[in-house]
Amino acid sequence: MNVEIFFGLTAVLAVLLGGIIILVPVLGLTARFALRPTLEAWARLRSDPTLSEQIELLSRQIALVEAELQHVQHTVQGLAEAQDFQRRLESPSTLSR
């Protein structure tokens, strides 16, 4: 019985080692080709000092556009209120009272 267990474990170990021998190079090549563009982009991002200045400039531009949008929304709201007021002034129900 002990001999059967030994041969069974030997077979399992042989299959595992054979699989590892094949999978390690495949995983290495996959990682190299998958991670290389990501790491190159990250290195380029960290080495480019003007990129942070461009990001800061874009952030300021976005903040200005948001402020302008809020101003326009406030103006449109005021115009809608004025138009509603004018409509109520000109309605016949207020003239007959």
Determine the distance from the C-alpha atom of residue 31 to the mean position of all C-alpha atoms in its chain, rounded to a whole number: 22
Map tokens 């059967």 to a residue: 4
Sign of the alpha-carbon dihedral angle for 54, 60, 63, 69: negative
Q: Please tell me the predicted confidence (pLDDT) of residue 59.
A: 95
Q: Please tell me the predicted confidence (pLDDT) of residue 54.
A: 86
Could you say which residues of the chain have pLDDT below 70?
1, 94-97
Sign of the alpha-carbon dihedral angle for 37, 38, 43, 44: positive
- What's the N-to-C CA distance of the chain in angstroms? 111
Convert the pLDDT of each residue in 32-59 to its tens digit: 888 888 888 888 878 877 877 888 899 9
Q: Is the pTM of this model over 0.75?
A: no
Q: Please tell me the predicted confidence (pLDDT) of residue 46.
A: 80
Q: Please tell me the predicted confidence (pLDDT) of residue 73.
A: 97
